[in-house]
Structure 1
Amino acid sequence: MNKISVVVPCFNEEEVLSMFYKKTSEVLNEIEDITYELLFVDDGSKDHTKDILRALSLKDDHCEFISFSRNFGKEAAMFAGLKKSSGDYVVIMDADLQHPPILLKEMYKAVSQEGYDCCAGKRVDRTGEGKMRNFLSHTFYKVMQKMCKMDMSDGCGDFRMMSRQMVDAILELKEYNRYMKGLFSFVGFDTKWIEFHNVQRVAGESKWNFSKLFAYALEGMFSFSTAPIVWIGNIGTAIMISSIIMAIFGLLVHVTSMFHLVCLILFLSGLQMLFVAILGQYTTKDYMESKQRPIYIVKETSRNLS
């Protein structure tokens, strides 16, 4: 009998956990000849998330939880869940029910009967989201697709069911700076995509504001692409050639405008600072990797209650 592990990262999700548990359990109980576990990872929540998870773990033997000592981020929570999971197949789902539990049946069929290593949900629209956020997300994934040469197209998120072999491959990648969408693509394996329409949160508010989304986008860019370094070289070469042309032009027409000189100095100074910042991002990431700090720290688990 196959076992399905459902990994659920949670950060201040007290309003949705009961609904998620009910709907997901109902779907899993309808799948024949399987057993399952619901593995919740409390990412340092400040509300009553951990209290609800304690209650669920005492009420239902299928439910387990891990609670971090502080907020380490969703990437760390997903890694912890994958590491803790014991199923033949492992699913990653959001607690807000934006990942429809009903798709678990089709996902399980794809990985257990159709020969796929992974079956993932692909959101085909962003109904209910703001136009600006929609535009920025679409643009980011287009840029990432070209920069990284990997399958990270818009709508391809964390919602997926994976074979144990694929999960073990991901767990081999123990880097501190984690960008799971990139890691899923990096390890490869045959993936079937299931399209679904965007679903609004059943309760509560999204924890992803523009600043967090922007930081997450930079994390993906600097973790899986060296394109910014190439851009620096190309722009530097263009500026050098332009400066030579300007110098020759100045000698020919005797231009001595102080204003133009100040503008040029400010432009080049700003450009240098930008380049230093980009190089600093790569250096900082290498610095953090060299420290070999733990990706997360566990404070409490459901086993402490037994």
Structure 2
Amino acid sequence: MNELSDVKISLVVPVFNEEASVPLFMEAFLKASAQWPFAADVTFVNDGSSDSSLALLRYYAGEHANVHYLSFSRNFGKEVALSAGMDHAVGDAVVLMDVDLQHPFEAISQFVEVWRKDDAQMVYGVRNADNEETAMKRWTSRQFYRFFNMMAHTPLPEGGGDFRLLDRRVVDALRSLPERNRFMKGLYAWVGFKTCAVPYEQPARVAGTSSFNYWKLWNFALDGIVSFSTWPLRVWSYLGVLVAFFAFLYGGWVIFQTMVWGVSVPGYASLAVGVMFLGGMQLISIGILGEYLGRLFIESKGRPPYIVAEKQVADAPTA
């Protein structure tokens, strides 16, 4: 590998209504990059912000040659913003991070060291347990990873988020994937390559509040499960066989009672409960089929995952 002085690291930073965080991020980036032994640039991805975030990105891109940005025509979501940033990043490795400084710049030097010394193509950060997240959010996060790994064909390393370094080979592999419903944590694991974890201390947000709530996190988890597992579809086959088996046993018991003892079949209560139970199961199964069918419908349209309304970026690498 080249000497560190010949290496360039590109930071990809999604931005959505972060006018208070962008100046603080830039201050920290300029201070950190001045001490790094490698060259670094940053590509901001404005994901349809409605505040003055875009105006700030224009200003900093005009003031600094190593600062670039692209701006979407509307909000397309963080997963797409990360993909767009990788499409336009030019470094030998790409670091994905948030603009709120909860991903510390000190960890990037550790990422680069592991990438160089351990020949790892992917280095991801793992937050230490002592951070400002609520106990409920930490618990639900652990349960998601466990549930996902039980069902998915490609397991996720627990605690591995978007804060990570990707070698150029990994970036090119991710850019070659054509899907539009992009669950990035799953895609990182799917492409493979040697991967190492680096623990880091997560500080508090420097400004503003997170746009993620439990409803968005639930939909995010649902996207991940549907994108990387067919188990929700398969389970209904097993459940149908199980229900049919017990229905056969119960039917045989009713026939036996009637023929031997002349016991009449019970009335409406058991019939109503059975119909409602089976009807509920059918609706749930149809809903799961609809989730998969909806994603197939979106993929079949072939629309681009994002539309850039404005950009000031370096020459993009070829795929």
Q: TM-score range with shorter-chain normalisation? A: over 0.9
Equivalent residue for 1:116, pick from 120, 126, 138: 120
**CA contact 2:148–2:155 (8 Å) conserved in 1:** no
Q: What secondary structure, in the 3-state scheme, does the structure 1 residue paired with 2:69 have?
A: strand
Q: TM-score, normalised by structure 2?
A: 0.91
Determine the structure 1 residue equivalent to 2:299: 289
Query: Unaligned stretches of 5+ in structure 1?
Result: none
Distance in 2, matches of 1:69 and 1:4, equals 27
Q: Give every structure 1 segment of 4 or more consecutive aligned residues whose post-TM-superposition deviation is greater than 3 Å.
A: none
Equivalent residue for 1:204, pick from 200, 204, 208: 208
Q: What's the offset of the Cα at 1:132?
A: 2.6
Equivalent residue for 1:38, pick from 34, 37, 42: 42
Q: What secondary structure, in the 3-state scheme, does the structure 2 residue paired with 1:44 have?
A: coil
Determine the structure 2 residue equivalent to 1:238: 242
Judge which range, 191-200 or 58-67, deviates more.
191-200
Equivalent residue for 1:22, pick from 18, 27, 30: 27
The alignment status of 1:270 with 2:280, answered yes or no, reads yes
- Equivalent residue letter for 1:80: A
Q: What's the offset of the Cα at 1:194?
A: 0.3
Task: Tell me the percent identity.
Answer: 36
Equivalent residue for 2:84, pick from 80, 84, 87: 80
Query: Unaligned stretches of 5+ in structure 2?
Result: 1-5, 258-262, 314-319
Per-residue CA deviations over 1:140-178 (Å, capped at 9, x if unaligned) read 110111211434133100111111111001101021110
Distance in 2, matches of 1:67 and 1:165, equals 26
* Cα pair distance change 1:4/1:208, threshold 3 Å: same
For 1:6-155, what aligned pairs fall within 5 Å after superposition? 6-32=11-37, 34-125=38-129, 127-155=131-159
Distance in 2, matches of 1:4 and 1:273, equals 50
**CA contact 2:153–2:228 (8 Å) conserved in 1:** no
**CA contact 1:158–1:181 (8 Å) conserved in 2:** yes
Aligned residues: 302
Q: What secondary structure, in the 3-state scheme, does the structure 1 residue paired with 2:210 have?
A: coil
Determine the structure 2 residue equivalent to 1:225: 229
- Equivalent residue letter for 2:56: I
Distance in 2, matches of 1:189 and 1:254, equals 66
Per-residue CA deviations over 1:201-258 (Å, capped at 9, x if unaligned) read 1111111111100000000000001111121111111111121122223332534131
The alignment status of 1:164 with 2:174, answered yes or no, reads no
Q: What's the offset of the Cα at 1:268?
A: 0.7
Q: TM-score, normalised by structure 1?
A: 0.95
Q: What's the offset of the Cα at 1:22?
A: 1.5
RMSD of equivalent CA atoms: 1.4
Q: What secondary structure, in the 3-state scheme, does the structure 1 residue paired with 2:204 have?
A: coil
- Equivalent residue letter for 2:52: H
Q: Which has the larger radius of gyration?
A: 2
- Equivalent residue letter for 2:280: G
Q: What secondary structure, in the 3-state scheme, does the structure 1 residue paired with 2:9 have?
A: strand
Equivalent residue for 1:2, pick from 7, 14, 17: 7
